[in-house]
């Protein structure tokens, strides 16, 4: 029988409610505490989530509780680094929402704190655990489309006043950039699929003229060209000022075929019509609603890894660090108007 892992959640907003239900649905996880800057009612927490949850307004007191095994950070992005470091110093395993932090120096501080402990980590780049990218990666790994030389993964999701995140997402100190605030999922998926080291990036940023997006303190659309060390090329658009349905565009081109969203063609399969796509039976990423995100699959993988004493597959801190470093280079390129070699972004 699996050991019950007691989980404390930092922050109690939209993401936290989805996390709590996903954690409680795993074999091992049980949320037993929540920290919030607001006073929360134990009775209301229990009624909503079906289990006893102790509310805290003193973070240090919650972290001092020896019964807590894992802390899940769902607070504002500019608070992630300090809270992550505090959890590490208390010896708590950590789940942290994206982005790791807004400023690269904060990500480096998190890496340093992690290196001084034996804790395990899970970064919420959960699209790696989606049906779409589990299936896409399986097709790539099978060799059906051969060696990839070009890939596009793009994120289209308008984050305007109708969206809860908008009220704080417009601030540079909290949203960061179109890539950091949401496009990170697309960049991370591109890096997952291309499976190659990045050499250089060139990024351009712009913004919609629609007044709905005027409050943003940063450019709300960016497109990044990624040059990989093998010579392959990728492209990632991060568009949070579009007025259209949510779309996670994926087009991967290899030496034996291609994948386009949930369709593919392969020369390795005899008899296929080269003038038509074949269908992949997968659930596409089609919503920005956290209730639709594959958190349960990701958290289950994390808790299974904790039982085994290993780093989790796909979304440990080291995986998230790689993707965030590429995004730091992309944002630097957009600001400075020049290509940026990945080596310009420090790792220590």
CATH of the domain at 105: 3.40.50.720
Q: Same domain, yes or no, for 339 and 198? A: yes
* Residue 308 maps to a domain: no
Residues paired with 239 in a beta bridge: 156, 221
* Residue 292 maps to a domain: no
Confidence (pLDDT) at 292: 80
* Residue 294 maps to a domain: no
Q: What is the pLDDT of residues 13-54, one digit of tens each?
A: 989 999 999 999 999 999 999 999 999 999 999 999 999 999
- Of 299, 305, 295, the residue nearest 119 (C-alpha): 305
Q: At residue 325, does pLDDT exceed 80?
A: yes
Q: Where are the alpha helices (H) located in 54-117, listed in sequence order? A: 59-63, 80-89, 104-115
- Of 312, 311, 327, 325, the residue nearest 108 (C-alpha): 325
Q: Same domain, yes or no, for 243 and 140? A: yes
Mean pLDDT, residues 327-338 taken together: 98
Q: Same domain, yes or no, for 39 and 94? A: yes
Domain containing 187 — which CATH number?
3.30.360.10
Q: Which of 119, 149, 180 is the last residue of a domain?
A: 119
Is 248 in contact with 285 (CB distance < 8 Å)?
yes
* Residue 310 maps to a domain: no
**Domain total in the chain:** 2
Q: Same domain, yes or no, for 221 and 154? A: yes
Q: Which of 119, 141, 176 is the last residue of a domain?
A: 119
Band of pLDDT at residue 1, cut at 50, 70 and 90: low
Q: Which of 98, 119, 140 is the last residue of a domain?
A: 119
Q: At residue 291, does pLDDT exceed 80?
A: no
Whole-number average pLDDT of the chain = 97
Q: Same domain, yes or no, for 36 and 170? A: no
Q: Same domain, yes or no, for 224 and 186? A: yes
Q: Same domain, yes or no, for 99 and 234? A: no
Q: Same domain, yes or no, for 155 and 36? A: no
The domain of 52 spans 5-119
Q: Same domain, yes or no, for 134 and 260? A: yes
Q: What is the pLDDT of residues 231-277, one digit of tens each?
A: 999 999 999 999 999 999 999 999 999 999 999 999 999 999 989 99
Q: What is the pLDDT of residues 53-84, one digit of tens each?
A: 999 999 999 999 999 999 999 999 999 999 99
- Exposed (0-12), middle (13-18) or buried (19+): which is 168, by Cβ within 10 Å? middle
Share of the chain above pLDDT 70, in %: 99
Confidence (pLDDT) at 18: 95
Q: Same domain, yes or no, for 77 and 186? A: no
**Whether residue 179 has a cis bond before it, omega within 30° of 0:** no
Whether the full predicted model's pTM is greater than 0.85, yes or no, is yes
Q: Same domain, yes or no, for 151 and 81? A: no
Confidence (pLDDT) at 289: 79
* Residue 142 maps to a domain: yes
Q: Where are the alpha helices (H) located in 121-236, listed in sequence order? A: 131-142, 166-169, 172-175, 178, 184-194
Confidence (pLDDT) at 290: 72
* Residue 318 maps to a domain: no
Band of pLDDT at residue 7, cut at 50, 70 and 90: very high
* Residue 172 maps to a domain: yes
Strand (E) positions, the chain?
5-10, 29-35, 54-56, 70-73, 93-97, 121-124, 148-156, 198-206, 221-228, 233-239, 247-254, 257-260, 263-266, 278-279, 340-341
* Residue 305 maps to a domain: no
Q: Same domain, yes or no, for 143 and 264? A: yes
């Amino acid at each position: 029988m699996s050991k019950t892992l007691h989980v404390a959640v930092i922050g109690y907003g939209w993401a936290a409610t989805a996390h709590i239900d996903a954690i409680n649905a795993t074999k091992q996880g049980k949320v037993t505490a929540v920290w919030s800057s607001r006073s929360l009612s134990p009775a209301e927490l229990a009624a909503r989530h079906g289990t006893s949850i102790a509310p805290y307004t003193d973070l240090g007191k919650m972290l001092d509780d020896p019964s807590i095994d894992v802390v899940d950070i769902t607070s504002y992005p500019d608070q992630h680094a300090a809270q992550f470091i505090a959890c590490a110093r208390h010896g708590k395993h950590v789940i942290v929402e994206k982005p790791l932090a807004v400023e690269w120096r904060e990500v480096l501080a998190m890496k340093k704190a992690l290196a001084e402990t034996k804790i395990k980590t899970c970064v919420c780049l959960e699209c790696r655990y989606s049906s779409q990218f589990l299936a896409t990666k399986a097709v790539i790994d099978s060799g059906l489309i051969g060696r990839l030389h070009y890939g596009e993964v793009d994120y289209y999701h308008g984050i305007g006043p109708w969206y809860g995140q908008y009220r704080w997402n417009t601030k540079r100190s909290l949203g960061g950039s179109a890539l950091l605030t949401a496009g990170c999922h697309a960049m991370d998926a591109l890096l997952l699929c291309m499976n190659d080291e990045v050499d250089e990036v060139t990024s351009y940023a712009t913004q919609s003229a629609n007044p709905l997006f005027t409050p943003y303190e940063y450019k709300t659309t960016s497109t990044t060209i990624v040059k990989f060390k093998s010579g392959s090329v990728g492209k990632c658009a991060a568009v949070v000022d579009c007025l259209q349905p949510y779309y996670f565009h994926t087009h991967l081109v290899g030496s034996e075929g291609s994948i386009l969203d949930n369709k593919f063609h392969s020369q390795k399969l005899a008899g296929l019509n080269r003038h038509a796509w074949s269908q992949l039976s997968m659930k596409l990423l089609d919503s920005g609603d956290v209730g639709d995100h594959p958190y349960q699959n990701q958290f289950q993988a994390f808790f299974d890894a904790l039982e085994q004493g290993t780093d989790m597959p796909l979304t440990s801190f080291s995986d998230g660090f790689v993707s965030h470093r590429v995004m730091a280079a992309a944002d630097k390129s957009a600001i400075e108007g020049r290509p940026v070699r990945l080596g310009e972004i420090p790792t220590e």
